[in-house]
Chains A and B, each alone.
Chain A
C-alpha cells in the first residue's frame, strides 16, 4: 500500500500539504515538551536532564519497530522510502560538529525554528549561524569538501545485514540498549539533582 507519494498514489500538492501539517504538529509538540528551552536541551550534556535522549531514542525506536512491522505486514514497502547511502567519515565528522553546535548553541536545527517562532532571540541567532554554515559549505564545496564528502563510501547499508544478524534481533538488541541508556541517564539525572540547590534548579527554568 504505502508509501503513497513514491507510488504516485498522492498528488504532489497534497504531499506538501500533509508535510506542512505534520511539520506544524511536530513544532507544536516540540514547544509543548519544552524542547525550545536551551537549558533543557543542553541538559543531556551536563547530566541534569535526560529528556532529550529519552525522546530521541523513543522516536527512533517507534519508527524502527513501526516500519518493520508495517513492512512485514505488506502495508509499507520500505525499499521505496528515502534510504540514503552511507559515507561514514563525513557522517562521523558531521555528527561531531552537530553535537558541538548542540552543546554550544543549545538547539538542534528543528528546535531552533520552533524556539525562534516563540520569539527567542538566541534561537534566531542560532538560525543565522545555521544559514551561514549552509551557504559557507555550498560556496566552498568544490574546493574544500568534495573529497571529504565522498570518502568512506559504504553504499546503502543496513546495520543488521552489515553485522550479519536478523533485523528483528537487531531491533530487540537496540531496544535493550535504549532501555539501559534510559535507566543510566535517569540515575545520573537524579544524583545530579540531589546535589543541586532548589534555587539552582529554578534558575534553569525547566
Chain B
C-alpha cells in the first residue's frame, strides 16, 4: 500500500474517532433562517395563557421557570411568585443560556404586555432555543384575569365561562391572600338558592346519558 493511501486512511480513522467524541457533546446552536423564523412567528404555539400559568404556580409545578424580562426596577416593584429577572437586553448573555437550553423546564417569559417578552422569545428562537413560551398579555392580562377577575357580562354564562370565572376567583384568593371580596361574597350568597338548579342540571345530564 502506498504511503499516501496509508495517510488518507489514518486521517479518516482520526475523523471517525473525533466523531465518536463529538457525539456526546451538545451541538452548538444554529441561527434560524428568516423564512423559518417568520413561519414560527406566525404560529401561536408560543403563547401560554395567564390561567395556565396561574394553575402551574398553584400546583407548584417544579418544571415551571418564570422569567421576568422587564428592568430590575420594575421587577423589584412587582413580579410573579418564583420569577427570576433577566432583562430583555441581557437575554443572550452566556451566563443566562443555561436557563433556555434545558429540556426539563417550561420556560415562560413575561413582561408588562406581550411585546417585550415576544421580542425576547424571537431572539432566543433565532438562535434555535426551542420550547420557550410567552405569557399572553403579560402582567396586564395577569392583573385583569387573575388578580382582578370580572364576572363576564350578561346572565347567560356558558359552563366553560363559569368554570373559568370560578377558577380565576380561586386564583385571586390564592395570589392576593384576600377572602372573597364583599361584592363577590354577596353574589355568592344566593348560591344556596342556586344549588337546586345545579343539581337538577346534573340529573338531566345523567338521564340523558342513561
Contact = CB atoms under 8 A, between A and B. Distances in A.
Interface of A: 1, 6-8, 54, 58, 61-62, 65-66, 68-69, 71-74, 77, 80, 166-169, 171-172, 174-176, 178-179, 182-183, 186
Nearest to B15: A65
Given A65-B16, A174-B16, 17 more contacts: A1-B31, A7-B34, A54-B5, A65-B18, A65-B19, A66-B15, A73-B27, A73-B28, A74-B28, A74-B29, A74-B30, A168-B24, A169-B20, A171-B16, A175-B16, A182-B9, A183-B1
Contacts of B34: 7-8
Contact of B27 (A54, A71, A176): A71
11 contacts: A58-B12, A68-B19, A69-B15, A69-B22, A168-B22, A169-B20, A171-B19, A171-B20, A175-B13, A176-B13, A179-B12
B210 interface: no
Interface residues of chain B: helix, strand, loop or mixed (majority): helix
B153 interface: no
A167 B23 contact: yes
Nearest to A71: B27
B19 A182 contact: no
Contacts of A61: 12, 15-16
Interface residues of B, number: 25
Nearest to A74: B28
Interface string B91-122: 00000000000000000000000000000000
A182 B30 CA distance: 36
Interface residues of chain A: helix, strand, loop or mixed (majority): helix
Contacts of A7: 31, 33-35
Interface of B: 1, 5, 8-9, 12-13, 15-25, 27-31, 33-35
Nearest to A173: B16
Q: Which 4 A-B pairs have the closest CB atoms?
A: A168-B23, A74-B28, A175-B16, A65-B15
A80 B35 CA distance: 11
B8 A166 contact: no
A1 to B, nearest CB: 7
A78 to B, nearest CB: 9
A175 B24 CA distance: 19
A172 B19 contact: yes
A72 B22 contact: yes
B33 A80 contact: yes
B18 to A, nearest CB: 7
Contacts of B17: 172
